[in-house]
Amino acid sequence: MVGKSISLPMHHELVDEDIEEMLKAMNLNSWEELFSDIPKEARKDGIKIEGMDEYSLYRYALELSSKNKDFFKMPNFLGAGVYFHFIPPVVNALVSRSEFYTSYTPYQPEVSQGMLQALFEYQSLIAELTGMDVANSSMYDASTALGEAARMTYRINRKREILVPENLHWEKESVLKNYLVGVGMEIKKYKLNERGMVDLEDIKEKVNENTAAVYAENPNFFGIIDKNVLHLKECIGKAVLIVGVNPISLGVIKPPGEYGADIVIGEGQILGNPISFGGPLLGIFATKKEYIRKMPGRLIGMTRDAERRRAFVMALQTREQHIRRGRATSNICSNEALCALYSTVYMAYLGSDGLRKLALKNMENAKKLMEKLRGIGLNAPHFNAPHFNEFLVDLPGEPHEIAKKLIEKGVHGGLPIREGCYRGIGNAMLLCTTEMHTEADMDKLVNALKEVL
């Protein structure tokens, strides 16, 4: 209303109640506990930029950033889903072009022919890599891709149970649970055998008429290349087989499409995307042609325009933002196109030979580190099985304390696995190597462990 001001009350009581409700839902006792992961000195001092000129601010930011220790200042052996690989300069050079870098969700897609072609190429490369008929133009990350895959199996067969491995990463399991609440699906776990591989007999016993899908990972969370997954399809009857992959490993191991996978998911950050501080990530999602109408996300297709010239279109876009509304297969609404573009350029640059060499180098480094750890009396790997680029090493003490002491020695260790987290595994650490690790990096870890233990 012109000429009349409106003041809105600040409902402090309501805000406090909301905060209390949120903390209660998160099993936290106080607001301070919510930020307990942030070091006390950072919470106490904060960032002070008041009244600074631009150059002073630049110097202050530079000083703050110098406190961070990257891979080259502190060798890092942490994997468990996000991995540090070399990104050739050509990837950043091409992706940073303004035509790509400023691109967003193409709501009038046919105008964005360059971006659509890049996404079409991404889909083609992922389909070839996984051995599947079709891939969508990406999801948020591997965890949400798994959630979407599980929901997709419900659309396929209307059944309400999904079997997952007992060593499924707890964060991935949490995301999966959240995604399945709306459709009322239940998660059940199957065992691994003494070699850390899928227990086929246990799966046969647990698959029933209400099993919508069985999920398996190859390599799995412990880095094991699981040959039993090759025989999984014949053990699960009419249930849908979902396989989670490390895409770089597909340079040396058989793609899931060749052993009966119906849906393939994975983490695409590995393909040319920087780890930054843990994101953004990229969810790989591929499936069989017969399930294309059940698939979430978007699909870019190639056709001809009115003048018979090659053209790219958004062929399927079953999102709630577009034509499907309440009948959408997914509500994913953030465009992961830039991350997919990174992966497209990376895969095109490496080619099949480059990918194979890279995968072999990762395996060689893991094997080399295992041998060095055995040299100081540690059991590495925990499982007697072939591994890709990460593995469990048994530790004689509490792994989180050992991890802290390693950092004091200038090495970032792997993911601590506390006794009791997984059946049959005591105190351990999940260590990861990539082509980035030199022999000097490995020696630094081994020597630090020797001193700490």
- Domain boundary assignment for the chain: 89-347, 352-452
238 within 8 A of 232, measured Cβ to Cβ:
no
The domain 89-347 having CATH identifier 3.40.50.2300: the answer here is no
The span from the CA of 125 to the CA of 326, in Å, is 31
Which carries the bigger pLDDT value, residue 43 or residue 257?
A: 257
Q: Sorting pLDDT into bands at 50, 70 and 90, what band is 11?
A: very low
Q: What is the pTM of this model?
A: 0.87
Question: What's the confidence (pLDDT) of residue 255?
Answer: 97
Secondary structure (3-state) at 425: coil
- Please compute the mean of the pLDDT values over residues 318-343 and round it to a whole number: 70
Distance CA(170)–CA(51), nearest Å, equals: 45
Q: What pairing do the DSSP bridges indicate for beta strands 263-267 and 240-245?
A: parallel
Q: Name the band, by pLDDT with cuts 50, 70 and 90, for residue 9.
A: very low
Residue 349 half-sphere exposure toward CB, CA atoms < 13 A: 19
* Residue 39, preceding peptide bond in cis (omega within 30° of 0): no
Helices (H) and strands (E) in the chain, counts: 13, 12
Percent of the chain with pLDDT over 70: 89
Mean pLDDT, rounded, for 228-245: 96
Instruction: Give start and end residues of each alpha helix (H) in 196-309.
Output: 200-206
What pLDDT is recorded for position 34?
82
Look at residue 10 and tell me whether its pLDDT is greater than 50: no
The more confidently predicted of residues 39 and 269 is 269
E-only strand ranges, 263-355: 263-267, 283-287, 298-304, 310-317
CATH hierarchy code of domain 352-452: 3.90.1150.10
- SS3 at position 427: coil
The average pLDDT across 275-301 equals: 90
Q: Which residues pair with 300 in a beta bridge?
A: 314
Across the range 300-320, mean pLDDT stands at 83
